[in-house]
Structure formats: C-alpha cells, structure tokens
Homo-oligomer: A and B are copies of this chain.
C-alpha cells in the first residue's frame, strides 16, 4: 500500500505526468526534461527523484549526463506499468501533451548535440 500511494502521489503533479508522457517515446536526458518543463535544474532533479523513488522511472548515467526511461515491467509491480498505460490511454490526445510531443521532436533531434554535447 505504501508503494502504491508513492505512485499516486508521484502522479499528483502535472509536471511529473508530463515527464512520464514524454518518456513513453523513449529515454530522455535530464537536460532535455528540464528544457521541456522549463523549470530550474534543481526543481527538475527533485521531480525526477520523486519518480525514481516511486519506481516509475529508471536511470543510467553516461558521463555527466543522466538518462531517464520508463521502467521495465516487473512481476509484483504491475500497478506501476498499469498506471503508465492509464496515463497514455487518457492523455495522449490532450493538447498539453500534444504540444509537448511537438516540442520533443526538436528536443530529441537537435539537443542531443546542443543540450547534451
């Protein structure tokens, strides 16, 4: 129950929901997430920490850069992937997410070089 509530609390913020929706297209670097959300680096880091602790994202470090992605399905933790499916089904056509998806195209293309050199 405690882990479940950690997930529901993680979902109770629009910026974090936007991050999860962005990650459904594939891994993103912390700098790309920060650029997407237009938040301070520290705020972005704090949000990612909450998602990480709720096991809603996984991360790997490449040099200075941290890449986040959605988690692999794990037996016993189906409620996490189910919640992510629930987000996708219901939010993929909303204007905020579609605007984010649009911006993500350029963010993913060019900012691999400019944002994460």
Contact, CB under 8 Å: B12 / A5: yes
Show 7 A/B contacts (Cβ-Cβ < 8 Å), sorted by A. Answer: A1-B95, A4-B90, A4-B94, A9-B12, A78-B90, A82-B90, A86-B86
How far, in whole Å, are A11 and B79 apart by their CA atoms in the complex? Answer: 14
- Residue on B nearest A77 in the bound complex, by CB: B90
Contact residues on A (Cβ < 8 Å of other chain), bracket: 20 to 34
| Set of chain B residues within 8 Å of A82, measured between Cβ atoms | 86, 89-90
Would you call A115 an interface residue if the criterion is a C-beta within 8 Å of the partner chain's C-beta atoms? Answer: no
Report how far A86 CA is from B85 CA in the complex, Å: 11
The reply on A43 being an interface residue by CB < 8 A is no
Q: How far is the CA of A8 from the CA of B79 in the complex (A)?
A: 14
